[in-house]
Amino acid sequence: MCNNDIKQLIADGDISLGVEFGSTRIKAVLTAKGAKVIAQSDYGWENQLKDGIWTYELADVWKGLQSCYAKIVQAVKQHYGVEITKIKAMGFSAMMHGYLAFDKDGNLLVPFRTWRNTITEKAADILSEEFKFNIPQRWTVAHLYQAVLNKEQHIPQVDFVTTLAGYVHWQLTGNKVVGIGEASGIFPIDEKTLDYNTEMAGKFDILTAKEGFGKKLADVFPSVLTAGQNAGVLTEAGALLIDPTGVLQPGTAICPPEGDAGTGMVATNSILPKTGNISAGTSIFAMIVLQNSLSAYYKEIDMVTTPAGHPVAMVHCNTCTSDIDGWVKLFYEFAKLTNPDCNISDVYNALYAAALKGDYDCGGLASVNYFAGEPVAGVDGGVPLFVRRPQDKFNLSNFMRSHIYASFATMKIGLDLLLKDEDVAIEKLYGHGGLFKIEGVAQQMMASALNTPVQVTTAASEGGAWGMAILAEYMHNSDMPLADYLQKVVFADAESSVCVPNPAETAGFECYLENYKKAIETEKTAVKQLL
């Protein structure tokens, strides 16, 4: 597509906008037909620990969105000489789960409680046992039920409970809805009805009524929509929330809001059974699209859905690259002492290259990378550890390989429940996120560790905001299934690289994993003694 064609599409408003509110960045992507990226922008933000709760100020939601949109407008003006006045389709995504509670007048009752909070253990345990279905602490229903159990003062005033993506969509359209992938992190989904599980909802209503909560689940949670459905249009007030200058016109069709897990699946073209994706950045999670339901429920595995409603088994770990990044920064400090002109990218490249030369079992070294608690490993807090025995082969290559292995080792423990206990078939995994930025290093190690080919496409680097723009564009192409649209339109010409398992490396990782599991016991002691 040439510049003149793109210029005309922008002038006609035949473009799509996707925005994702991530943990550390708000990202926006503007696309033309076929999800071709025209412009992109981002805005940095950080959660805050206030009164023991991890939260974000809602004012920052709009400040960040407006900043991202203004940068998109400016980039389009500079590159194409056209001003954006109208947009055909939009979609908004955010980190999943958490708790935003409002009264009947739309007032926020308590500060936004994000997915990062681990304050709902009692509620999650009760609900999991009652439903015979794993309810993680970060799920919205766990937050609501914990607040009910705690007899929090705001509970009698609760009229609407939603997620961050659901909140943004509500403010822009007036509609209290979420996409089914996002909904599956609020409350369990019925695979047949593609809605909240009514049997479990009935049990929840009985539990909360006993505690004096007068509302039913259906009264307070957002309605559920699937990919391709029109979830409303941008109102005049909503347009001003995005663009306070008033240039952006209302009336844009907006697709169902989705969570970052769903947009990751779309951005990696992994929504068909026997495929999956791994998002590896600050946190790491694997999403495996299932052919059949699991034989049992596991506390280590979340059951969610694709944006089209297919069941997905999810293994989520709170820490991935943070410990690696810390060590790289340490080596960078040293490198600057010897060469003031070096940059941190050079250090990353050198250290990852060294890791490739390490022994497949890391010479006996082990690193436990936890910055926070890891439910999959049964650890309540995070104290990053590096351990070695006197006889182990301690060198730079083994050291770095051990840290890269550690970034996905806990995820592998969770996935083994699927691969070994449930015999789940996986033909290919699609990787995206910061861990894969240096080509062929972590990707190759992960392929061997999981004994499954791992593919990384160049488009996947665009991330969840791009995935959201695809879902927005898909609203006007929903005459074909979402999987077909991705395969035939979006990814038809996508460039990618595939790493296949190396049997010797697979065996070496299994040896490493045994040491890693033993080191986790040391981690538990460290957490108990130091935190």
274 phi/psi in degrees, rounded to 5: 70, 10
Q: For strand 253-254 and strand 89-94, is the pairing parallel, antiparallel, or unpaired? A: parallel
Please provide the average confidence, as pLDDT, over all residues in the chain. 94
For the segment 448-471, the average pLDDT, to the nearest whole number, is 86
Helix (H) or strand (E) holding 496: strand 496-499
Give burial (CB, 10 Å; 0-12/13-18/19+) of 479: exposed
Residues contacting residue 294 through CB under 8 Å, at least 6 positions apart: 301, 303, 313, 418, 422
Consecutive H or E run containing 93: strand 89-94
For residue 254, is pLDDT > 70? Answer: yes
How confident is the model over 452-479, as a mean pLDDT?
Answer: 87
User: What is the tens place of the pLDDT at every residue in 137-158?
Assistant: 999 999 999 999 999 999 999 9
Give DSSP secondary structure letters for 23-44.
Answer: SSEEEEEEEEGGGEEEEEEEEE
Q: Report pLDDT digits (tens) over 71-87.
A: 999 999 999 999 999 99
pLDDT of residue 500: 96
DSSP per-residue letters across 295-322: SS--TT-EEEE-TT--EEEEEEES-SSH
Q: Which of 85, 86, 84 is nearest to 74 (CA)?
A: 84
Q: Is 45's pLDDT higher than 80?
A: yes
The C-alpha atoms of residue 102 and residue 88 are separated, in whole angstroms, by: 30
Q: Which position has the token pair 């069941």? A: 311
pLDDT in tens, 173-231: 999 999 999 999 999 999 899 999 999 999 999 999 999 998 999 999 999 999 999 99
- Show the tokens assigned to 124: 């999650």
Q: How confident is the model at residue 3 (pLDDT cuts 50, 70, 90)?
A: confident
Q: Is 106 a residue whose pLDDT tops 60? A: yes
Listed residue (317, 318, 288) closest to 429, CA to CA: 288
Among 471, 498, 476, residue whose Cα is nearest residue 486: 471
- CA atoms of 475 and 479, how far apart (whole Å): 9
Residue with tokens 């950080």: 46
pLDDT of residue 462: 63
- For residue 176, give the nearest of 189, 188, 196, 160 by alpha carbon: 160
pLDDT of residue 31 exceeding 70, the answer is yes
Per-residue pLDDT at 112 exceeds 90: yes
What is the Cα–Cα distance from 247 to 170, expressed in whole angstroms?
21
Domains of the chain and any CATH numbers: 269-458+495-531 (3.30.420.40)
Compute the C-alpha angle 150/151/152, nearest 5°: 90
Most confident among 288-292, 362-366, 437-441 (mean pLDDT): 362-366
* Interstrand relation of 302-305 and 366-368 (parallel, antiparallel or unpaired): unpaired
What band does 463 get if pLDDT is binned at 50, 70 and 90? confident
What is the predicted pLDDT for the residue at 461? 57
The crossing angle, in degrees rounded to 10, of helices 3-12 and 58-80 is 130
* Average pLDDT of the segment spanning 44-62: 94
Highest mean pLDDT out of 31-40, 59-68, 259-268, 491-500: 59-68
Cα 264 to chain centroid distance, Å, stands at 7
* Residues 6+ away with beta carbon under 8 Å from 493: none
pLDDT tens for 317-374 read 989 999 999 999 999 999 999 999 999 999 999 999 999 999 999 999 999 999 988 9
**Percentage of the chain modeled with pLDDT above 90:** 82
The per-residue pLDDT for 318 is 87
Phi first, then psi: give them for residue 21, nearest 5 degrees: -95, 95
CB 111 within 8 A of CB 167: no
Which helix (H) or strand (E) is 146 found in, with range? helix 140-149
Position 27 pLDDT exceeds 70: yes
Chain centroid offset of residue 95 CA: 6
Q: What is the pLDDT of residues 358-397, one digit of tens each?
A: 999 999 999 999 998 898 999 988 999 999 999 999 999 9
